């Protein structure tokens, strides 16, 4: 990483495929009858956990260089796994497979790594119990999760939190339930499951925050081309904005409005950024060019935008530290239930450099003007990919080595991160 210091960054990049879309395409391909090609999938720790689980329940998956081919005889031919499943560090795998396994009517048990085994699963269990599922949790909240086969009936569910993982688990179960499953959201969370279920032939309508899905319909295989992940793109974009002389274009990245809240905040901050939308159906895609912006304005975000940028808040905190005005994030208590408590992690690590925060239960305010000199410092990554990549961007922007205890978790979502930055490096 030290080779990235004292450089500037210029050029064009394609970030790896979208993690949320890759997980869902593996799951829907396993449930559908026929052959699905997933083009440009994200090959990362988290998506391999989903792949292994789809194999363990009977999907036939071939990995080629630039695509995965999934052949399945449909959900009726899937079977209970012969051993306990492992979801690693992946919240999306863990939450979504509860809905999928209960929906198909399989018997299974799973747990994950130390972080997953501390993340709440009762948020998914609750609506599924209402559907008639039999799901048991450790201490009524955590993995190991045990799922037993039971017939399901549709429910009408008001989402108590904005969570695409909970919504998707209900919809995956609803595919096989008797009746019409309805999910009501007050703030829109990412809608990849809805878009992809429609593509695979589900009878699903989504309008004004109400999603209705008819149960007991057979899915048909359908090819998926995975766009670049805007959550991964956020790191080189932030680098471009903060690093004098930098200008980076990210091509072919998801611009789905339920994911692109970060771009709205960068506009509020007055970042030098140009967005070009590309034609196509389904998921919105485009190219983003971001360039060094010497003066950044503040922001104050809360409410409906939060789920649309939830994974970008660690890197937004770094951008906020370089702003000339206060920056406030509220209504983001969900950050405390991610790979680590991301509010604590951001505040604890960035405070080491004199960056001043007012921490709240549901977010923080960053006080302007607090960065002056950045000394070489030991920092912690908490085995959280988003925290680690934020710290790496900070190190590069400040031209200061930051000694991160362990960077291996980058592979959870963006295995080629350092190489991609290296490819953009121009010696200063």
Ligand X SMILES: C=C(OP(=O)(O)O)C(=O)O
Ligand Y SMILES: O=C(O)C1=C[C@@H](OP(=O)(O)O)[C@@H](O)[C@H](O)C1
Stretch that binds ligand X, among 71-79, 88-96, 174-182, 232-240 (CB under 6 A): 88-96
Task: Please identify which of the residues 18, 311, 384, 420 carries the catalytic annotation.
Answer: 311
Q: Are strands 33-39 and 224-225 parallel, antiparallel or unpaired?
A: parallel
Among candidate residues 99, 107, 100, 84, the one with its CA nearest the CA of residue 130: 99
Q: Cβ distance 29 to 221 under 8 Å? A: yes
Residue 90 contacts ligand X per CB under 6 A: yes
Q: Cβ distance 147 to 134 under 8 Å? A: yes
Among candidate residues 357, 345, 351, 350, the one with its CA nearest the CA of residue 409: 345
- DSSP assignment of 147-182 equals EE----B--EEE-SS--HHHHHHHHHHHTTSBSEEE
Residue 24 contacts ligand X per CB under 6 A: no
Among candidate residues 325, 327, 321, the one with its CA nearest the CA of residue 299: 327
Residue 185 contacts ligand X per CB under 6 A: no
Paired with 224 in beta bridges are 38
Min. distance of Cβ 398 from ligand Y in angstroms?
A: 27
User: Which of ligand X, ligand Y, none interacts with 168 (beta carbon under 5 to 8 A by kind)?
Assistant: ligand Y
Q: Cβ distance 258 to 230 under 8 Å? A: no
311 catalytic? Reply is yes
User: Does 20 appear as a known binding residue?
Assistant: yes
What is the rounded CA–CA span in Å between residue 327 and residue 368?
A: 8
Between residues 251 and 384, which has the closer beta carbon with respect to ligand X?
384
Residue 365 contacts ligand Y per CB under 6 A: no
User: Does 338 appear as a known binding residue?
Assistant: yes
What is the rounded CA–CA span in Å between residue 418 and residue 428?
A: 18
Stretch that binds ligand Y, among 25-33, 162-170, 241-249, 251-259 (CB under 6 A): 162-170
Over the window 35 to 64, marking each residue x when it contacts ligand X by CB under 6 A and - when it does not, the resulting string is -----------x------------------
Min. distance of Cβ 25 from ligand Y in angstroms?
A: 12
Residue 90 contacts ligand Y per CB under 6 A: no
Show the tokens assigned to 142.
């955590």
**Rounded (5°) CA angle 415-419-420:** 90
Show the tokens assigned to 137.
């949790």
Residue 229 contacts ligand X per CB under 6 A: no
Name the residue number minimizing CB distance to ligand X.
91
Interface positions, 311-370, toward ligand X (CB under 6 A): 311, 338-339
Between residues 164 and 355, which has the closer beta carbon with respect to ligand Y?
164
Between residues 355 and 388, which has the closer beta carbon with respect to ligand Y?
388
Residue 94 contacts ligand Y per CB under 6 A: no
- Structural element, H or E, at residue 367: none
Between residues 105 and 307, which has the closer beta carbon with respect to ligand Y?
307
Residue 25 contacts ligand X per CB under 6 A: no
What is the rounded CA–CA span in Å between residue 380 and residue 190?
A: 29
Paired with 329 in beta bridges are 301, 364
What is the rounded CA–CA span in Å between residue 65 and residue 177?
A: 37
- Structural element, H or E, at residue 189: none
User: Which of ligand Y, ligand X, none interacts with 75 (beta carbon under 5 to 8 A by kind)?
Assistant: none
Over the window 2 to 21, marking each residue x when it contacts ligand Y by CB under 6 A and - when it does not, the resulting string is ------------------x-
Q: Which residue has the tokens 């200061």?
A: 400
Min. distance of Cβ 337 from ligand Y in angstroms?
A: 7
Among positions 41, 81, 91, 105, the unique one binding ligand X when judged by CB under 6 A? 91
User: Which of ligand Y, ligand X, none interacts with 164 (beta carbon under 5 to 8 A by kind)?
Assistant: ligand Y
Q: How many residues does the chain have?
A: 428
**Rounded (5°) CA angle 118-27-35:** 160
Residue 310 contacts ligand Y per CB under 6 A: yes
Using CB under 6 A, list all residues that contact ligand X.
19, 46, 90-92, 311, 338-339, 386, 413
Which residues carry a binding-site annotation for 3-phosphoshikimate? 19-20, 24, 163, 165, 311, 338
Using CB under 6 A, list all residues that contact ligand Y.
20, 92, 163-165, 168, 190, 310-311, 334
- Tell me which residues are annotated as active site: 311
Which residues carry a binding-site annotation for phosphoenolpyruvate? 19, 91, 119, 165, 342, 386
């Amino acid at each position: 990483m030290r080779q990235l210091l004292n450089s500037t960054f210029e050029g064009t990049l394609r970030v790896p495929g979208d993690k949320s879309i890759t997980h869902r395409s593996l799951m829907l391909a396993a449930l559908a009858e026929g052959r699905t090609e997933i083009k440009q999938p994200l090959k990362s720790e988290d998506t391999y956990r989903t792949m292994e689980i789809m194999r363990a329940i009977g999907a036939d998956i071939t990995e080629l260089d630039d695509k995965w081919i999934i052949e399945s005889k449909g959900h009726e031919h899937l079977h209970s796994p012969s051993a306990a499943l492992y979801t690693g560090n992946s919240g999306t795998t863990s939450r979504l497979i509860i809905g999928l396994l209960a929906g198909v009517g399989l018997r299974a048990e799973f747990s994950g790594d130390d972080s997953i085994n501390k993340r709440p699963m009762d948020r998914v269990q609750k609506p599924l119990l209402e559907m008639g599922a039999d799901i048991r949790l450790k201490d009524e909240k955590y993995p190991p999760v045990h799922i037993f086969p039971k017939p399901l009936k549709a429910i009408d569910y008001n989402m108590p939190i904005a969570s695409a993982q909970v919504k998707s688990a209900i919809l995956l179960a609803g595919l096989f339930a008797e009746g019409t499953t309805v999910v009501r959201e007050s703030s829109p969370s990412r809608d990849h499951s809805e878009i992809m279920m429609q593509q695979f032939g589900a009878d699903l309508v989504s309008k004004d925050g109400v999603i209705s899905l008819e149960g007991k319909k057979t899915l048909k295989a359908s090819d998926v081309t995975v766009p670049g992940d805007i959550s991964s793109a956020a790191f080189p974009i932030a680098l471009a904005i903060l690093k004098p002389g930098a200008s980076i274009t990210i091509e072919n990245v998801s611009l789905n409005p339920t994911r692109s809240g970060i771009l709205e905040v960068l506009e509020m901050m007055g970042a030098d950024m140009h967005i070009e939308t590309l034609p196509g159906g389904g998921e919105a895609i485009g190219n983003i060019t971001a360039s060094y912006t010497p003066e950044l304005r503040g922001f104050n975000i809360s409410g409906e935008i939060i789920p649309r940028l939830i994974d970008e808040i660690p890197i937004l905190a770094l951008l906020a530290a370089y702003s000339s005005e206060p920056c406030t994030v509220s209504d983001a208590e969900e950050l405390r239930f991610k790979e680590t408590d991301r509010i604590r992690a951001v505040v604890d690590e960035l405070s080491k450099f004199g960056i001043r925060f007012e921490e709240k239960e549901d977010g923080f305010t960053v006080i302007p003007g607090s960065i002056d000199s950045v000394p070489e410092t030991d920092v912690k990554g908490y085995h959280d990919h988003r925290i680690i990549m934020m710290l790496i961007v900070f190190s590069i922007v400040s031209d200061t080595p930051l000694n991160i205890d362990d960077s291996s978790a980058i592979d959870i979502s963006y295995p080629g991160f350092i190489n991609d930055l290296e490819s953009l490096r121009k010696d200063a």
